[in-house]
């Protein structure tokens, strides 16, 4: 019976790959990769010889049906993204949905993702949070942020280095200058940085330096005056 494995890959440090992920990648008939060059480097590092086929956001709609037919013709296939877990702000959702509709077995391995380490690193509440992924680049961006003004749960975003300051400034404008924020950059890599402060101090910090690498923003949820008074009484 054909099967699709969703295989997380390291977000930085190659040692973060799991033994199970390596076993699956060595055993499947072929691998669907967001970028065959990036995945090729990973496979070469771990001495895995496997056929690679591209499956990314620019071709996933067009290639979906042919990929499904290819999966049906073999016994097992793995889907990987450039880093982290496929389907989380990366291609994956469409093929998983289509496989389920075609009665193709789908199994997602646990493994690397950037949002959980960043959330735990932040020092902000982890019991309840929402993941917003990437904010829209243009249309709908402000509306999305405004909808989160009174959200009490911790907010988690992905962001690119060249839009980080714009996002911090917009969050500052709509959520308030004193909201606490943690900015995690280059997680698990050599130059990892975890900055913690307010939106005001974060803007100042990142305005004075060159910004590189993948970024996760973790922002404090809304607290009303009643909640603050209740916490003060408890303490």
Each residue's pLDDT tens digit, 124-173: 999 999 999 999 988 899 999 999 999 999 999 999 999 999 999 999 99
- pLDDT value of position 58: 81
- pLDDT value of position 233: 63
For residues 114 and 183, the answer to whether their CB atoms sit within 8 Å is no
Label residue 100 by pLDDT band (50, 70, 90). very high
For residues 53 and 30, the answer to whether their CB atoms sit within 8 Å is yes
Instruction: Give 211: exposed, middle or buried? Use CB within 10 Å, 0-12, 13-18, 19+.
Output: middle
CATH of 3-108, one of 3.20.20.120, 3.40.1010.10, 3.40.50.620, 3.40.50.720: 3.40.1010.10
- pLDDT value of position 148: 97
Label residue 56 by pLDDT band (50, 70, 90). confident
Each residue's pLDDT tens digit, 205-220: 999 889 999 999 999 9
- pLDDT value of position 196: 98
What is the rounded CA–CA span in Å between residue 141 and residue 124?
Answer: 24
SS3 content of the chain, % helix, strand, coil (to 5): 40, 20, 40
- pLDDT value of position 21: 98
- Residue 233 has a CB neighbour count (10 Å cut-off) of 7
* Beta strands in the chain, from DSSP E residues, in sequence order: 3-6, 30-33, 52-54, 76-80, 105-108, 129-134, 154-159, 180-185, 193-198, 215-219
Q: Which CATH class is domain 115-227?
A: alpha beta
- pLDDT value of position 225: 46
Residues 6+ apart with CB under 8 A from 176: 199
pTM for this predicted structure = 0.89
Largest Cα–Cα separation, the chain: 65
- Report which secondary-structure segment, H or E, holds 132: strand 129-134
- pLDDT value of position 59: 77
For residues 16 and 112, the answer to whether their CB atoms sit within 8 Å is yes
- Whose tokens are 């076993």? That residue is 23
112, 214, 222 from 191: Cα distances, Å: 18, 11, 31
- pLDDT value of position 63: 87
What is the rounded CA–CA span in Å between residue 183 and residue 168?
Answer: 10
Give ranges for CATH 3.40.1010.10 in the chain: 3-108
Over pLDDT 90: what percentage of the chain? 86
What is the rounded CA–CA span in Å between residue 78 and residue 76?
Answer: 7
Each residue's pLDDT tens digit, 162-207: 999 999 999 999 999 999 999 999 999 999 999 999 999 999 999 9
Label residue 121 by pLDDT band (50, 70, 90). very high
- Residue 45 has a CB neighbour count (10 Å cut-off) of 10
Q: Cα dihedral sign for 83, 84, 90, 92?
A: positive
Average pLDDT, the chain: 93
47 pLDDT above the threshold of 80: yes
For residues 10 and 113, the answer to whether their CB atoms sit within 8 Å is no
Give ranges for CATH 3.30.950.10 in the chain: 115-227
What is the rounded CA–CA span in Å between residue 60 and residue 56?
Answer: 6
What is the rounded CA–CA span in Å between residue 217 and residue 155?
Answer: 8
Label residue 234 by pLDDT band (50, 70, 90). low
């Amino acid at each position: 019976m054909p099967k699709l494995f969703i295989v997380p890959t390291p977000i930085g440090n190659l040692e973060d790959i799991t033994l199970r992920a390596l076993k699956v990648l060595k055993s499947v008939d072929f691998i669907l990769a967001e970028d065959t060059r990036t995945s090729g480097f990973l496979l070469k590092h771990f001495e895995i010889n496997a056929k690679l086929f591209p499956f990314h956001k620019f071709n996933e709609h067009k290639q979906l049906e042919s990929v499904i037919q290819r999966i049906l013709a073999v016994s097992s296939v793995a889907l990987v993204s450039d880093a982290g877990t496929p389907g989380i702000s990366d291609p994956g959702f469409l093929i998983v949905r289509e496989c389920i509709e075609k009665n193709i077995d789908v199994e997602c391995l646990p493994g690397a993702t950037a949002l959980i380490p960043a959330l735990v690193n932040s020092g902000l509440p982890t019991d309840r949070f929402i993941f917003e992924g990437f904010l829209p680049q243009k249309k709908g961006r402000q509306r999305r942020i405004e909808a989160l003004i009174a959200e009490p749960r911790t907010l988690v975003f992905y962001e690119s280095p060249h839009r980080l300051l714009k996002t911090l400034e917009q969050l500052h404008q709509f959520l308030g200058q004193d909201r606490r924020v943690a900015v995690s950059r280059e997680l698990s890599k050599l130059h990892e940085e975890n900055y913690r402060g307010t939106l005001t101090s974060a803007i100042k910090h990142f305005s004075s330096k060159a910004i590189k690498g993948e970024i996760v923003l973790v922002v404090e949820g809304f607290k009303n005056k009643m909640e603050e008074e209740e916490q003060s009484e408890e303490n």
